[in-house]
């Protein structure tokens, strides 16, 4: 019908529509989102009997971000530096898991599997990093990092292959793969597991990463968990992400497939191949995140670490808040990294807010951010669909909608 379908864009995939809305609001919407989340978090503190202003001030101090201000001096500056190192250590993997989700979004895919990809990356990194003791340091790090990237890419690639060949939805398959990663990881390092520590037979933990394979610390005391060079690797990954997406033929295809798979197919692109490639690249980013943590500051992986690993999931919030862009991802990762480290027992002033509860505050704020991000996606989505939604009556959408759904 030539008249019915004239106005408006054609719906493609839900994920690509979402990606479209996410890039729609500019920088104002994510800032408002964050502000609202903090306001709501403050209300929670108020209701539970804490002083929100004092608490936020303590969290702010705990993040170490005041180090950037020149008027922070003396002992304050030393403490700030140490806190900031912790913040950036956490920001590093969050940037990477954020990229892992954002890249998929740009191709119209939901990668919920960042956590599983992060775990297989950690496992690969700790395995390579704790073997080959005699290897020269640089080569050893490179090998461990490549192994982690390959493991993550392979893991996510499974979901890509399933999507391309059978149409299996990536949300389902990546969630399933998360659990497989968790349980395989636990099995590997549990007592008498194949990769369990030879020296400490009673502890379910991996071998330690050898000295040569540890990422160099360039700021702070290596013994007191100073900042390792992983932050630069993560920032390099952001540049790579941006270049691939915006300046390469691969990214051109990825974005075309993300916006309109049918038009991409008509242009000679293989939609299936792109799905596999995109998932593999996502897994590569998430696997790299695992390597950064293992080679940068954890140096060993216990079954307990695998059970409580959640940086892959925060990557979803990072990508959503960062609007799937390179710069946005860095900013959102820094926000969440600061929140996590600012509310950690180590950094938060215990007289202001009970440290055992502080971590939960992070969860609350994270949850609120995700909720509000989703809500504004919903609002933008409703606006975009406009009158069509409200005119829709029982069993009879207008022809324009019917056409679009064909």
Contacting positions for another protein (CB under 8 A): 1-7, 9-10, 16, 20, 246-252, 255-256, 259-260, 262-268, 270, 391, 393-399, 402, 405-406
Rounded to a whole number of angstroms, the minimum distance from the CB of residue 405 to another protein is 8
Rounded to a whole number of angstroms, the minimum distance from the CB of residue 287 to another protein is 23
Pair 329, 322: CB distance under 8 Å: yes
Rounded to a whole number of angstroms, the minimum distance from the CB of residue 27 to another protein is 19
Q: Which is nearer to another protein, 68 or 266 (CB)?
A: 266
Rounded to a whole number of angstroms, the minimum distance from the CB of residue 7 to another protein is 8
Q: Which is nearer to another protein, 245 or 316 (CB)?
A: 245
Q: Which is nearer to another protein, 346 or 392 (CB)?
A: 392
Pair 237, 121: CB distance under 8 Å: no
- What is the rounded distance in angstroms from the CA atom of residue 83 to the CA atom of residue 156? 34
Q: Which is nearer to another protein, 77 or 265 (CB)?
A: 265
Rounded to a whole number of angstroms, the minimum distance from the CB of residue 165 to another protein is 16
Q: Which is nearer to another protein, 351 or 393 (CB)?
A: 393
How many other CB atoms are there within 10 angstroms of residue 249's CB atom? 9
Phi-psi category of residue 395: left, alpha or beta, with phi > 0 → left and psi -120 to 50 → alpha: left
Pair 46, 361: CB distance under 8 Å: no
Rounded to a whole number of angstroms, the minimum distance from the CB of residue 33 to another protein is 22
- What is the rounded distance in angstroms from the CA atom of residue 370 to the CA atom of residue 107? 21
Angle at CA of residue 262, ends 258 and 263, nearest 5°: 85
Alpha-carbon dihedral sign for residues 386, 392, 14, 274: negative
Phi, psi of 12, rounded to the nearest 5 degrees: -115, -100
Q: Which is nearer to another protein, 175 or 404 (CB)?
A: 404
């Amino acid at each position: 019908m030539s008249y019915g379908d004239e106005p408006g864009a054609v719906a493609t995939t839900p994920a690509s529509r979402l990606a479209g809305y996410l890039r729609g609001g500019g920088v104002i919407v994510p800032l408002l989102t964050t502000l609202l989340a903090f306001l709501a978090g403050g209300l929670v503190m108020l209701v539970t009997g804490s002083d929100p202003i004092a608490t936020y001030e303590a969290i702010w101090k705990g993040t170490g971000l005041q180090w950037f201000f020149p008027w922070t001096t003396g002992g304050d500056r030393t403490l700030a530096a140490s806190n900031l190192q912790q913040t950036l250590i956490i920001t590093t993997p969050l940037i990477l898991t954020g990229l892992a989700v954002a890249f998929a979004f740009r191709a119209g895919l939901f990668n919920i599997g960042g956590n599983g990809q992060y775990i297989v990356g950690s496992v690969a990194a700790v395995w390579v990093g704790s073997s080959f003791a005699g290897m020269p340091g640089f080569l050893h790090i490179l090998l461990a990092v490549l192994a982690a990237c390959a493991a993550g890419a392979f893991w996510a690639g499974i979901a890509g292959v399933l999507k391309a060949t059978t149409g299996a939805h990536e949300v389902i398959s990546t969630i399933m793969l998360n659990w497989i990663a968790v349980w395989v990881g636990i099995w590997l390092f549990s007592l008498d597991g194949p990769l369990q520590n030879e020296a400490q037979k009673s502890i379910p933990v991996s071998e330690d990463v050898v000295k040569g394979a540890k990422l160099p610390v360039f700021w702070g005391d290596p013994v007191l968990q100073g900042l390792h060079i992983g932050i630069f690797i993560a920032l390099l990954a952001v540049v790579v992400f941006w270049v691939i997406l915006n300046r390469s033929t691969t990214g051109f295809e990825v974005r075309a497939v993300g916006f309109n798979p049918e038009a991409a197919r008509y242009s000679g692109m293989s939609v299936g191949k792109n799905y596999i490639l995109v998932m593999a690249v996502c897994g590569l980013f998430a696997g790299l995140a695992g390597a950064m943590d293992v080679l940068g500051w954890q140096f060993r992986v216990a079954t307990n670490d695998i059970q409580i690993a959640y940086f892959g999931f925060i990557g979803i919030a990072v990508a959503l808040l960062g609007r799937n862009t390179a710069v946005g991802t860095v900013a959102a990762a820094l926000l969440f990294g600061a929140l996590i480290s600012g509310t950690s027992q180590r950094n938060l002033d215990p007289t202001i807010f009970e440290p055992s509860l502080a971590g939960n505050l992070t969860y609350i704020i994270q949850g609120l951010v995700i909720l509000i991000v989703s809500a504004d996606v919903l609002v933008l989505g409703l606006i975009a669909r406009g009158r069509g939604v409200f005119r829709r009556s029982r069993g009879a959408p207008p022809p324009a909608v019917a056409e679009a759904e064909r």
